[in-house]
Amino acid sequence: MKFKDYTLTIPDHEYREIPAFSYSLLKDIDENGPQTLLESKTKSSEALTFGSLVDILLTAPETKADKFWTKVLTPPTASLLELANALLVDLTVLEEGFSYLTHENIQNKIKNMGLWSSMVNKEKIQAKYDDPIFWNYMKESIEAKGKIIISQETLDAAEHCADVLKNHEYTKDYFVETEDIEILFQPSIVYKFKGTTGKARLDLVIVDHKNKIIKPFDIKTGSELPTKFMNSFYKFKYYLQVISYLVALQSITETIEDFKDYKIDTFKFLYISKKLPDVPCEFEVPENILNSFVDGWGENTGFMELVENYKYATENQIFNVERKVIEKKGKLKIELI
């Protein structure tokens, strides 16, 4: 009996294509309204890239090269760079590989671009681009296509963070699997909730089969000092992530007979700061505040209402107005908060 048998192990792009709500989608609906459901879901930022790199180094380091490119791309200069970039555009449009770069195709491109127009001898033109720097740049640019290009400095910093999390006395035990302890890295769970479909992709789940306890974790990296992580928790609405992940795990314990007597432990964040990366810390989310995250508090919309907003928009195909505005017929009140 393995907990992983009831989760999905799939690549990022397959997870993103699953038609379901997620923490990040609920956050977007909360901040930008239902029209966000019509927009591309792919996001990128330096912080997200670094966090993703640390996750991969922790959970599946052998796949790093599939997503990230770490070699230094040394570009040629002047007209050679102009030629190289134009050819790379052609390769993308035509969906061609390195074999496209024949002398005939390159010389036709040079002619169309008007480069070295005073030269008529093809051998002399060929000598212009028969440069190791040009060919290395082309080769490595093609190999890097579709990958996230990161510097050696970023890779070194991410490797340090991953190493600290795996070996520091505060967190190292979370990465040791035993006969009774099952560790799941990046498991995906698709679940039914309130008549619609949700999905969650957790960083780390530890299943203690001996004591029948399921321990969920999310791994965060950030520029904030460890004692300031709570600012990020509320700024980025991580409380929605907590509920999303707990509900996903609960969907298994409530429906799979083998796990019905397992307890889901308090949710924890493992946080490591890029400012002070030598010591990780653990943030526990107390159970006595979970109801606020479910139902909302003050001006903060809770998980339950955001799921209803998602469900209303997708079922009725209404993306240009909020559910509450329709239900109140456009008549809302200012309340004391």
Write the CATH number for 167: 3.90.320.10
Average pLDDT over residues 57-81: 83
- The verdict on residue 334 lying in a domain is no
Cβ-contact 140, 71 below 8 angstroms = yes
Q: Are strands 204-208 and 213-222 parallel, antiparallel or unpaired?
A: antiparallel
Q: Are residues 239 and 282 both part of a single domain? A: yes
- The verdict on residue 173 lying in a domain is yes
- The span from the CA of 217 to the CA of 264, in Å, is 11
Structure confidence by residue, pLDDT tens digits, 195-253:
999 999 999 999 999 999 999 999 999 999 999 999 999 999 999 999 999 999 999 99
Q: Are residues 180 and 322 both part of a single domain? A: yes
Q: Are residues 171 and 273 both part of a single domain? A: yes
Distance in Å from the first CA to the final CA of the chain: 49
- The verdict on residue 335 lying in a domain is no
- The verdict on residue 285 lying in a domain is yes
Q: What pLDDT does residue 145 have?
A: 81
DSSP string, 40-101: ------HHHHHHHHHHHHHH-GGGHHHHEE-S------HHHHHHHHHHHHHHHHHT--GGG-
Contacts of residue 109, defined as CB under 8 A and 6 or more positions apart, other chains included, come to: 83, 86, 87, 90
Distances (CA, A) of 150 to 51, 121, 159, 160, 298: 12, 40, 13, 15, 41
| Chain centre to alpha carbon of residue 19 | 17
pLDDT at 183 over 80: yes
Residue 74 confidence class, pLDDT cut points 50, 70, 90? confident
Q: Which of 149, 167, 191 is the last residue of a domain?
A: 149
For residues 168, 171, 173 and 174, what is the CA-based torsion angle, rounded to 10 degrees?
-140
Q: Are residues 182 and 304 both part of a single domain? A: yes
Q: Which domain holds residue 105?
A: 78-149
Residue 43 confidence class, pLDDT cut points 50, 70, 90? low
Structure confidence by residue, pLDDT tens digits, 102-129:
888 898 888 889 888 888 788 888 888 8
- The span from the CA of 59 to the CA of 79, in Å, is 43
Residue 94 confidence class, pLDDT cut points 50, 70, 90? confident
Q: What pLDDT does residue 331 have?
A: 94
Q: Are residues 91 and 59 both part of a single domain? A: no
Neighbouring C-alpha atoms within 13 Å toward the C-beta of 195: 7
Could you tell me what percent of the chain has a pLDDT over 70?
Answer: 98
Cβ-contact 236, 27 below 8 angstroms = yes
Q: Which of 149, 166, 201 is the last residue of a domain?
A: 149
Contacts of residue 208, defined as CB under 8 A and 6 or more positions apart, other chains included, come to: 180, 181, 214, 215
Structure confidence by residue, pLDDT tens digits, 147-174:
888 888 889 999 999 999 999 999 999 9
Residue 62 confidence class, pLDDT cut points 50, 70, 90? confident
- The verdict on residue 272 lying in a domain is yes
Q: What pLDDT does residue 186 have?
A: 92
Q: Are residues 184 and 284 both part of a single domain? A: yes
Q: Are residues 159 and 306 both part of a single domain? A: yes
Q: Are residues 172 and 124 both part of a single domain? A: no
Q: Are residues 54 and 88 both part of a single domain? A: no
For residues 269, 274, 276 and 278, what is the CA-based torsion angle, rounded to 10 degrees?
70
Question: What is this structure's pTM?
Answer: 0.81
Tokens 């579709």 appear where?
146
Residue 12 confidence class, pLDDT cut points 50, 70, 90? confident
pLDDT at 73 over 90: no
Reading the block at residue 87, the tokens are 């050819």
Q: Are residues 197 and 255 both part of a single domain? A: yes
Domain count, the chain: 2
Furthest C-alpha separation in the chain: 81
- The verdict on residue 320 lying in a domain is yes
Distances (CA, A) of 149 to 11, 70, 73, 289: 19, 6, 9, 40
Q: Which of 149, 180, 206 is the last residue of a domain?
A: 149
Q: What pLDDT does residue 130 have?
A: 87
- The verdict on residue 106 lying in a domain is yes
Contacts of residue 64, defined as CB under 8 A and 6 or more positions apart, other chains included, come to: 53, 56, 57
Residue 337 confidence class, pLDDT cut points 50, 70, 90? low
Q: Are residues 193 and 303 both part of a single domain? A: yes
- The verdict on residue 73 lying in a domain is no
pLDDT at 67 over 90: no
Q: Are residues 112 and 242 both part of a single domain? A: no
